[in-house]
Amino acid sequence: MKSKVKDKSKSNRQRSIDAAAHRAALEAAAQRRVRVNPALLGPNHSYGTPDFVVRGHYLDFPFACKDCGKQEVWSAHQQKWWYQSARGDLWTVAVRCRPCRRREQARVAQARAVQQSGSRAKNAK
Ligand SMILES: [Zn+2]
């Protein structure tokens, strides 16, 4: 007996059902909106107002990773977290995929550690 999860041989009928489900999922994603709560946003250091604030809701944001070029989606929910919980800068957007972001954070942390140990050495003199 075949396992339901690992069975990759699908009938044509199953395939067309999958395509329909895929379309429905894409449409749902396009309509998925997360409301912006302006009271929770971090300070705006610019005279302008970001599009998502004017619009009043976050939308899934497709982008290509700056480092590896991979197509990624910065989801509406992730944006809400970034702007309202992490209080990220209102003018920053996702530019890297998750693995590249982690690599970049490690690189920055490493550079900072080197710089700090350097200034500690200087102060000790
Ligand atoms: Zn990447």
Q: Does any domain span residue 26?
A: no
What pLDDT, in 10s, does the model give residues 76-91? 999 999 999 999 999 9
pLDDT for 121 equals 73
Can you tell me the distance from the alpha carbon of 74 to that of 65, in angstroms, rounded to the nearest whole number? 11
Whether 3 is covered by a domain: the verdict is no
Contact present, 24 and 16 (Cβ < 8 Å): no
- Distance (Å, rounded) from C-alpha 21 to C-alpha 24? 5
Residues with CB under 5 A from ligand 1 (ion): 65, 67-68, 70, 97, 100
Let me know if residue 41 belongs to a domain: yes
Q: What is the pLDDT of residues 25-80, one digit of tens each?
A: 777 666 678 999 999 998 888 889 999 999 999 999 999 999 999 999 999 999 99
Domain that holds residue 75: 33-124
In a domain, 14, yes or no: no
pLDDT, mean over the chain:
87
Give, in degrees to the nearest 5, the angle at Cα 13 between 9 and 19: 90
Q: Residue 60 domain-assigned?
A: yes
Q: How many domains does the chain have?
A: 1
Instruction: Answer whether residue 108 shows pLDDT above 80.
Output: yes
* Cα–ligand 1 centroid distance for 33 (angstroms): 25
Q: Are 74 and 93 in contact (CB under 8 A)?
A: yes
Q: Indicate if the pLDDT at residue 124 is higher than 70.
A: no
- pLDDT the model gives residue 13: 80
* pTM reported for the whole predicted model: 0.64
